[in-house]
Structure formats: structure tokens, C-alpha cells
Amino acid sequence: MNFSRDDFGPDFVWGVSSAAYQIEGAWNIDGKGKSIWDVFSNTRGKISKNQNGNIACDFYRRYPEDLSILSQLRIPNYRISLSWSRIMPSGTNTINQVGVDYYHRLIDMCLDLGIEPWITLYHWDLPYDIERKGGWTNRDIIGWFSDYTECCIKLFGNKVRHWIILNEPLVFTGAGYFLGIHAPGRKGLNSFLAAIHHAAMCQAEGGRVVRSLLPEALIGTTFSCSLVEQQKNNIHDLLAAKRVDALLNRMFIEPLAGLGYPVTDLKMLRRLEPFIKEGDEAKLAFDMDFIGLQNYTREIVTRSRITPFIWARVIKAEKRKVIMTEMKWEVYPESIYQMLKQFSKYTNFKKIIVTESGAAFHDEIQNERVFDEKRRNYIEQCIGQVLRAKREGVSVEGYFIWCFTDNFEWAEGFNPRFGLVYIDFESQRRIIKESGYWYSRFLQKSEQLV
């Protein structure tokens, strides 16, 4: 496929993404309160090699350097998140002015450099004091999150136009409250179900708060998604794939679209009933200006008689002997095309923005350069698949690469590198990778891609 930036039209949005906990560091200074990730990553055995995000990319101190690199690459949009516990150390009431001032400086520098900030309100770093009250399992979080959202809009709404409510609610509820492999490390179906419903309520309520205070804002929320396909061509694997698709791809977008939870294809969701109060079903829906699609791979599933609740098993990529990333995810760029087609069926959302797309591959420094051909090729192919969907009528209007710089990749620590910019985490030295230079050239329309 031959294409250039011009093929996407003049209004298509191009950018890169990041998240506060993964880059900022400065975890316990200048009045910041603890987040669940501060506690989790400093608990021995929770993170690969017992690493933590205490310093991460030191972005809190080094953001002028990083934004200068972003400006050098002429990347026009930067998706960043706010740390709830840096703004409100206990999660409620008291505001930390030093943290607020930091975000004002960060946003102001973006604007001064001609970089449009896209703000994510919640990217997984829940204040620890709120977790001690039950976190996402406590229904009161709907009010706490609404108050936090209102605070952020009043503080920064006059400078920021694009607001994203939640990042990947299925991941932070599933990995954090069911599997226990992410912060806060809780396990159990009831915790998971409570967290699901309260997060679904918050994504809609957050949207209403932003719209009431900032009518001109463009409001969205993001969803993780993976193409789900059956292993064998039989009814058992077909139904297994439907159940996994309902869990991975439909759990949060369908209630937001006014369709309710996908109970028909995932019977375990009937157990949500004790958490649903009168009037909740209507409050789950909200007309977002855009939805953020975040895709990295596909999953192949088969029926399993021993996996409770979903009665399906994901066949790992390494067992299928396919090409994989450092995350052991299958390299399958067509997945993003298929998910754009699937999400485009929710017609009440005006447009789709790909808010994360990227890959972790092994990087090496050679003569002060990082030649990451695999990453460049993967991103190029994904952009081609986005154009394929756009040409077929999908209202996809933006593409953000995950991520701008290498960072702290949650439970995997610092080993997986997704960035367009290499970071030596010991010296904090930055080196723009070849993929970063390539993306910059592409955005300047100076090369035709094949």
C-alpha cells in the first residue's frame, strides 16, 4: 500500500502518548500523596526485577528537555495524564498547589511549543488513601472521581480542549481487582464486578461533569481491545470467542453506548446485579465526542472446561510459534483494522481516535543511534491498516503512538521498550530512535511509504 500523511486529510490528528506514573517519578516530594502504584511497585515481588517507578523517566524534572525533543520532531499532539494524588494527595478535598503549578508549567510549555495537550484524567494511579477506603470497589468513588474531575476542569479547562476520562478500564479493574497482577493487587470476582460497575459509572459521570463545566471541550475515553478469533471452526470455539470478545472488547463500550452490559454473550455479568442501583442503567450512557481505541495484538481462543466464568482459554502467542514483541504479544497489525471496523458499529460516537498503538522490541545503542527497524515497520503497517479502515468509511480521525519515550511498563518494569525515544534509566540520557525520526519525516509529508 502506498500512502502519505496527505492521504488522511488535513484534519487527521497525529501524536504520541504517555502516562504520569510511567514517566514522572518524584513520587514522594513536593506534597504528592501516595498512589496505589507507589505502594504496589515498592512491595517486593510485585514488579519484574523488583523495579519501581519512583524515578522512572524523571519527567517531573526533565519535562522541558522531553518537550523540546517532541518539538524538534515536530509531533503536534501529546497525550499525557494527570496524577490524581499529585493534585489531591488524599484523593479528596485538599489541593496540592505545588502539583497544580507543575501541571500548569507543563501545559503552558506544550502550548508555547505549538504542541496540543490531550489530558487523561485517570491512567491507573489511584490515590492510596482512596484505595484504603475500598478504591474502585467502593461506590463512593463515583462522587470522589466526579469531584476530582471538576477540580481538574476548573484548574486547567481554560487551557486544555481535549479531555479523556479513563484509560482502559477493563485493564485496571481486571488486572488490579481480579488477577492481582497490577495495583492494588486485589483478587476475587466480587471485587472485580464492583470495580467494573463503578468504573463504568465514572466514565459516563466524568463525561457529564466535563460537559457541564466546559461545553466547548472535546470529550472521550479509551478502551483496550484485541481482535479475538476462534482456534477451530466449530460451535464451541465460536461461542468461546464470543465470550472473550464480550469481556475484552465490549464490557465498557456497550454500557457507555446505552446498550447495557453484554450479558447475553457473557453470562457471568448477571452477577453485577447486586452492584447496580435504581437509575444506574441510564447513567451508564454518555455521548462521547470520540472514543479512544488502543490495540496491540490479537488473541486466539478455544473452549476450556476448566476456566470458570468464561469457559475459554487464550492460546499464548509463543505456543502458536508466531512472531512476537518483547511483551510476548503476536505481531499482527491487521488487528487494528479489524477493531476499528468493530468499534465503528457503535454509531452514536462521532469518531474514533487511535489513542495508543505501538510495540516493544529489543533496542541497542550503536554509535549513539538506535536502529529499531522492527518498531518502525510495525508502526508503518498499523498506520496503513488505519488508512485501510478510513478508506472503507470508518470515522477514524487520529493516531497516537505508544509511546513517546521508553518508560516504566507497570508489572514488567523497565525491560519492555515501546518508545520513539530511548532512555538510559541509570543516566537518564535520551536518544531519539530511528522510528522517532521516521515518524517525524512522515508527519512532514516528505516521504511516500510503501
Could you list the active site residues?
168, 356
Which of 315-345 are b and which e, b meaning 16 or more Cβ less than 10 Å from the residue's Cβ?
eebeeeeeebbbbebbbbbebbbbbbbbbbe
Name, in order, each residue with C-beta under 8 angstroms of 215's C-beta and a sequence gap of 6 or more. none
Measured between its terminal Cα atoms, the distance across the chain in Å is: 6
In this structure, what C-alpha cell is assigned to residue 450? 510503501
Nearest Cα to 232, choosing from 313, 294, 173? 313
R_g of the chain computed on alpha carbons: 21
- 416, 32 contact by CB (below 8 A): no
User: Which residue reads 518524584 in cell numbers?
Assistant: 26
Q: Cell 511498563 sits at which residue?
A: 409
- Any idea which residue has 496540543 for its cell? 116
Cell, residue 306? 476448566
**DSSP count for the chain of H helices, then E strands:** 16, 13
Distances (CA, A) of 449 to 5, 104, 268, 389: 9, 38, 46, 17
Spatial contact of 263 and 269, defined as CB atoms under 8 Å apart: yes
Q: Which long-range contacts (CB under 8 A, 24 or more apart) does 234-238 make?
A: 236/302, 236/303, 237/301, 237/302, 237/303
Q: What is the DSSP string of 9-56?
A: -TT-EEEEE--HHHH---TTSTTPPPBHHHHHHTSTTSSGGG--SSST
